Structure 1
Amino acid sequence: MGQKGSVVVVEMRVLPVVWVRAWTELEWPVSWETAFAVRDRLGWETKPHDGEMFWTELSVGDEGGVISNFHGRVDDVTIPLTTRVVRGQEDEHTAPRAWAAYRAYVEALTGLYGPGRQTADRGIAKTEWVLSNRVTLNVGALPGVLTAEVESPELTALGEYEEYYIEKYGEDAWFNG
């Protein structure tokens, strides 16, 4: 991190794909203890008083990741994959670096898991894979940030049910049901 006048300039760095694989390739369901062990093995620092939240080596300020649980089992892990470049600290290289990191991640994960389902909406790009162990992996990007979300097989099943229900009865029936 360097100084440029009175603005802090943050170099955009990217976590390696192997750190995402540490979560996607676990034996699910994942216990709370296993999640904490993976977090600690990766060298991620627990936020004080909240083991669900953590900082990676790329965290700046309060930004970090989250391990969510439902009834004592992990249902979701959100991982920041790049150093977040906050609004007002962007430079002419921020967006191109974020998009290049996104493309590199998608390419690497496609090599591992096959092609994912790609979507784009309002400047946000996302690629989603449903893996053979029924875990859903989402990698999303917008200028200045890249994140991964790993969802448990239970959340994968809920998402598939939602898609089925919406397809069969329409979006209004799902949200007004």
Structure 2
Amino acid sequence: MVTSTSTTNDFSEAAGLSFSAYSADHLAALLRIWVEHSWPISKEETFNLCDRCGWTMMQGDDESFTTSIQSANYNQFDGSVRYDANDPSFISGIDVELTPRTPTESISRTTPIVKGLYGEYLNAISRAYGNPTAFSNEAGQSSIWTLPHHVSIHLILNQTYLKIRIHSPAQTKRTTRTISHITDHRNI
């Protein structure tokens, strides 16, 4: 049974441990806060955007934050800010864990939940930003949307947990160049 509110779903009963996740519509709204913001995003703006999302920066750490999702997440934090190596006064993106990394003994119960959420999130993001480019490998699945202003969204199903990664336009361009370079070398 799933208990639902407008922003979260509680899967604790099905998972056998504390396990909640954003509703697909709320995740899409959180993504809009980031991807539709003017880039580049400064450190100060990052703190404000995290606050708008209901995320709390870790005390004394300008790279880690916790989300409002209550879960059995055994990590110290739920998300991280990545600063641009070329200009650390701006961010190159954020990473947010959308589901907990559950203990081994709970994986059989949480995997169907995580895979279902991946499908719901995929549909919600696709409604907002069109069809993604999809990849699969032994580690899991990922879907990538590159928006017209070069911000990219990466939805990652890493077998047993979900993560979202947002890249700045500069980081998206660097990543695209690197992938093209690798592909060019393979064709030689």
TM range (shorter): 0.7 to 0.9
Alignment partner of 1:167 is 2:183: yes
Which residue is equivalent to 1:28? 39
Check conservation: 2:64, 2:77, Cα contact below 8 A: no
Question: Structure 2 CA distance, aligned partners of 1:129 and 1:95?
Answer: 24
Change (3 A) 1:46 1:53: same
Which residue is equivalent to 1:74? 91
Q: How does 1:148-167 map to 2 (within 5 A)?
A: 148-167=164-183
Q: How does 1:59-138 map to 2 (within 5 A)?
A: 60-61=73-74, 62-70=76-84, 71-82=88-99, 84-90=100-106, 92-138=108-154
Aligned-residue RMSD, C-alpha = 2.4
Q: Counterpart of 2:19 in structure 1: which amino acid?
A: E
Residue 24 of structure 1 deviates from its aligned partner by 1.3
Give per-residue Cα distances to partners, 1:56-97, cap 9 Å, x unaligned: 012634131001112210101001222x04223515431111
Q: Counterpart of 1:44 in structure 2: which amino acid?
A: W
Alignment partner of 1:50 is 2:64: no
**SS state at 2:106 partner:** coil
Check conservation: 1:12, 1:85, Cα contact below 8 A: no
Residue 144 of structure 1 deviates from its aligned partner by 3.4
> Relative to total residues, which structure has the larger strand share, 1 or 2?
1
**SS state at 1:90 partner:** helix
Change (3 A) 1:85 1:167: closer
Unaligned runs of 5+ in 1: none
Structure with more relative contact order (C-alpha pairs < 8 Å, separation 6 or more): 1
Q: Counterpart of 2:77 in structure 1: which amino acid?
A: E
Q: What is the percentage of aligned positions where both structures have the same residue?
A: 21
TM-score, normalisation: structure 1? 0.84
Residue 170 of structure 1 deviates from its aligned partner by 2.4
Change (3 A) 1:50 1:96: same
Unaligned runs of 5+ in 2: 1-9
Change (3 A) 1:165 1:85: closer
